[in-house]
Amino acid sequence: MNDRDHNQHVIDYYDGRIKKTMTPTGNLYTRHHLDELQRVTGIRAGDRVLDVGCGMGRYSIPLAARGVVVDGLDLSPFLLDRLKEYNDSGREIRTFCVDLVDHAPEAPAAYDAVVGFFMLHHVHDLARCFTAVKRLVKPGGIVAFVEPNAYSPLYYVQMMITPSMTWKGDRGIVKMRPGVIFPAMRAAGLASLALHRFGFFPPFVAGRPGGMWLEKRLEQVPVWRPLLPAALFSARRPD
pLDDT at residue 160, rounded to an integer? 73
Q: In angstroms, rounded to a whole number, what is the distance separating the alpha carbons of residues 188 and 128?
A: 8
Low-confidence residues in the chain, pLDDT < 50: 1-2, 5-7, 9-11
What CATH number is associated with residue 74? 3.40.50.150
- CA 92-117-149 angle, to 5 degrees, is 170
Provide the domain limits for residue 115: 3-236
Interval 148-189: pLDDT, tens: 999 988 877 777 777 666 767 778 899 999 999 999 999 999
What is the Cα–Cα distance from 72 to 172, expressed in whole angstroms? Answer: 22
For residue 18, what pLDDT is reported? 54
Looking at residue 21, its pLDDT comes to 56
Q: What is the pLDDT of residue 89?
A: 94
Q: Which helix (H) or strand (E) holds 221?
A: none
Residue 209 confidence (pLDDT): 82
Task: Give residue-wise pLDDT tens across range 90-104.
Answer: 999 999 999 888 766
Q: Residues 86, 26: contact at Cβ < 8 Å? A: no
Q: Please name every residue paired with 73 in a beta bridge, in sequence order, or none if there are none.
A: 52, 96
Q: Look at residue 22 in the predicted model and tell me its pLDDT.
A: 56
pLDDT for 103 = 67
- Residues sharing a CB contact under 8 Å with residue 217, sequence separation 6 or more, in sequence order: none
Residues 232 and 40: beta-carbon distance below 8 Å:
yes
pLDDT at site 7: 45
Per the structure, the count of domains in the chain is 1
